[in-house]
Amino acid sequence: MKLADTGVTVRDADAGDAVAGVLPGLVAMPESVAEIAAVLRACEAEDLAVVPAGGGTKLHWGAPPERCDVLLDLCCMNEVIEHAAGDLVVRAQAGVTTAALAARLAAAGQELALDVPFADGA
């Protein structure tokens, strides 16, 4: 399987997609767990190195990857999957921002006990 055959939105990378100075060739933007799996299968078949990214706010932090052929942009994976307020349990996808998660919890009188800079993007 080729990456182009997965049905996932794929675009050419631009300077804003660089990971610690390493520019990926492509950016894949899956919208489901099944699409993430399809991207990873295709990249494995093509020997492409994949780097995941959530909100993309700190891609310049840390050591650069040896390779970054495909940036797996998880911004479309932005749903709160479960919030069992009575059990103090919340499950969220990787692209949920801390601001969105905090707002969801606040509606139930709960709070996210994190002080996150750039909460709208992280």
DSSP secondary structure of 84-107 = EGGGTEEEE-TT--HHHHHHHHHT
67 and 108 part of one domain: no
Token pair 């905090």 is at which residue?
Answer: 102
Q: Domain check: are 60 and 37 in the same one? A: yes
Below-50 pLDDT ranges, the chain: none
> Pairing relation of β-strands 50-53 and 26-29?
unpaired
Q: How many independent structural domains does the chain possess? A: 2
**Mean pLDDT for the chain overall:** 90
- pLDDT attached to residue 90: 95
- Amino acid 72: pLDDT: 96
- What is residue 55's predicted lDDT score, i.e. its pLDDT? 73
Which range of residues forms the domain containing residue 115? Answer: 78-122
Asked if 47 and 92 sit in the same domain, the reply is no
Long-range contacts of 82-89 (CB under 8 A, 24+ apart): 83/108, 85/109, 85/110
